[in-house]
A and B are shown apart, each in its own frame.
Chain A
Amino acid sequence: MDRRTFLSLPVASFLVPTAQAMFTAQPEAQSVPLAAQIDFTSNVPAPGTFPAKWICGSPSAKHNLDPAVQVHWYNEHTAFLRQNKAYSYEAPFMHLYFGNERILMIDQGYTQLRSDWPLRDVVDNCIAEWCRRNGRRPVDMPLLLAFTHLHDDHYAGINQFADRPNTRFMGQTHEEMLGFWGMTNYPEERVTLDLGGRDILIWGNPGHVMSEFAYYDTYTQILFTGDMFYRGRCYISFWETWFASMKRLIAFIDTHPVTHVVGCHVEMSRTGEDYPYGIMYQPDEAPWQLTVDELRHAYEFAKTITRPGIYYTGAVFLCNETRGATTIDKNSYAYD
């Protein structure tokens, strides 16, 4: 199969039972002995922990000695990664979900060069560590590289994986991304990605940008809302679209159990203070995860918003159709 044909195949074709027949002849499908199968469906939600506090920069970024990528294993089969604030002010979070047959990585951080920021090495180490624990070989585990949306703080590190064997890349156009998940009715359609006993639900989540996805892991029951809803300034570029996505999220949490809601960044302190856009040190950073109630409250709050502006819901800032780098702070030296 040439590369072009390979890339054009929707990943869902690996998963849809009717399409599975064409892949059963491939030897790697049988490489995992059945005895080693991990059960991702009973005793859900799988318990897990978040760090008491994420690493959040230092007074002098140059003198920062923290790891370039903070790796936190939420549980044995789920790792959350965060770019060091002193490497990039965006400090985006990245997700690694492990299944019996493949691995999903969502987002690839905000630095291009492996020599500047060795994301690829960190991810390879995580995969090696998981494989060692679970009796797999890394070469047998295909890695799927996906994005929440096409902003450079979420895909800049993608080229570090260009030469990685057994790795598939979602593509950097909206059409390629829809094709990757096999979606035909964006954003309403919800598709299921099977990582091998572990289902990830994916659907459209536009509003911050028109092309964004929400991810829900059935094993940990964590809902990942990308840049559309996170603890910080949710830059809402398209209010109607964003509100429709909110409705879709509420409908989802009405019908599915959700343990935590997580986004791509944290831009606030525990006391609700806004950390301005671009700052590299957030000493009193708020926790990353949001509760379902905070999402519901933000939805109720959003119902009352009729005009552009910045609104604080008590958990997040809703920046309704404001400029990209809007911050709340003023010139503190102003006097009359």
Chain B
Amino acid sequence: MEQATPPACAAPPPVHPKSFPNGDPDAPLNPPGAKNTDSCLPLMRTGQVMHNYACNGPAPGDIAFRWIHGSVCAATNTDPDIQIVTYNEDTYILRQNVCVHWQAPFTYLLFGNRGALLIDAGATPEPEYYPLGKTVDALIRRWCAARNVPDIPLTVVLTSGEYKAQNQGLGQFAGRANTTLAPTSLAGMKSFYSLASSWPQGTGRIDLGGRIVDIIPTPGAHKDGLSFYDRYNCFLFTGDLFFPGRIQIANDRDYAASLARLVKWNRTHAIKWVMGGHIDMMFVPGRAYPRFATYKPLERLLQIDPSLIADALTQASGLIGKPGVAIRADYTLLNRVSPDEDAYYVSPDLPYINVSYWLP
């Protein structure tokens, strides 16, 4: 019986040279003809896309990722130098890699219709270790492409001009076009924010084009401390003043007064989250990672409920005039003691949960 000849093989489909299961990163946003986008941006943009930043309550947004938290051996870490979380289309949260600098500061990039605002500048000056300038440039380029504008002016401000864990990346913006850098000296800051006559009781504001950011002087952790209130997201950016960690008070009277001003501010301005500059705490009540730790697998969340400001005010008032430590579930206050004071101590009013501070 004659065997049937096998059919000739069909030519294999041409292999595309690139394969990006999650989308081609080089492709432009919303290419002409794209129909299946879920972006809120209009498909046919003729001029700049304007947002209306006025809204009832906080703008939608979430932090849907864990923060990258270092590795057992810092030298073997392969995480990105800067982790970027898009909170919403106009708000980006940047975190320095814990293994690049143990302080792992958070930096916030906010966009309005007429300007971008970068709050804080990280702990490492060298762009090869901490490419803040390059990263912000890329985010601005991408945002401008989406909003159909050629460029947007950038203002870089600091929650404290003197704080070495938040001002080191400032030099990466020196000479950048269309950029304003806030001064780092206290006198310069006061005049920059028009607070020279009203420091520290008064407030200033920055208008990013429909999006207002209020400036609240909050000395205490630093003599030139500032907090920023974002009316769009209802965020209070407190920098080194109040964050989930071991807070070192530089002046106890100023610190309590600043917290009192923030409590008063909260009576008239809703706060969704207090966003600090660092995380030291674990998600175990009252426990914090010690200084210089580069592996923090049990790290607490960044955001703080605003009710804790009043709690911190109570604690700080009790510390006025006396050196000491107040260990609370979500933060620790240290007043005029060594930065390592009670680093491994558990407050008796908190549950004792035995956790290892690091694994060798």
Contact = CB atoms under 8 A, between A and B. Distances in A.
B198 to A, nearest CB: 20
B176 interface: no
Contacts of B249: 331
Contacts of B118: none
A61 B340 contact: no
Given A117-B73, A280-B294, A326-B340, 7 more contacts: A59-B126, A60-B124, A62-B77, A63-B128, A87-B76, A116-B76, A335-B251
Given A87-B76, A331-B339, A333-B221, A61 B100 contact: yes
B199 to A, nearest CB: 15
Contacts of B151: none
B296 to A, nearest CB: 13
Give the interface residue-count category, chain A.
35 or more
B101 interface: yes
Contact of A61 (B99, B248, B290, B336): B99
Interface in A99-137: 110-113, 116-117
B231 interface: no
B265 interface: no
Interface in A43-74: 59-64, 66, 68
Contacts of A277: 290-292, 340
A287 interface: no
A64 B343 CA distance: 28
Contact of A278 (B221, B293, B336): B293
B101 A325 contact: no
B338 A60 contact: no
Given A110-B360, A325-B344, A89 B292 contact: yes
B300 to A, nearest CB: 19
A278 B292 contact: yes
A1 interface: no
Contacts of B130: 60
B331 interface: no
B288 to A, nearest CB: 12
Interface string A309-328: 00000000000000111111
A116 B250 contact: no
Contacts of A64: 74-75
Interface in A146-169: 152-153, 156
Given A111-B360, A325-B290, A335-B251, A63 B102 contact: no
B106 interface: no
B338 A87 contact: no
B72 A111 contact: yes
Interface of B: 72-77, 79, 81, 97, 99-102, 124, 126, 128-130, 162-163, 221-223, 248-251, 290-294, 334, 336, 338-340, 343-344, 359-360
Contact of B129 (A60, A112, A113, A153): A60
Contact of B250 (A62, A86, A113, A331): A331
Interface string A154-190: 0010000000000000000000000000000000000
Contacts of B339: 276, 327, 329-331
A110 B292 CA distance: 16
Nearest to B341: A323
A276 B221 CA distance: 21
A88 B294 CA distance: 9
A2 interface: no
A112 B356 CA distance: 15
A254 interface: no
A279 B248 CA distance: 18
Contact of B100 (A63, A110, A116, A325): A63
Given A278-B292, A278-B293, A330 B76 contact: no
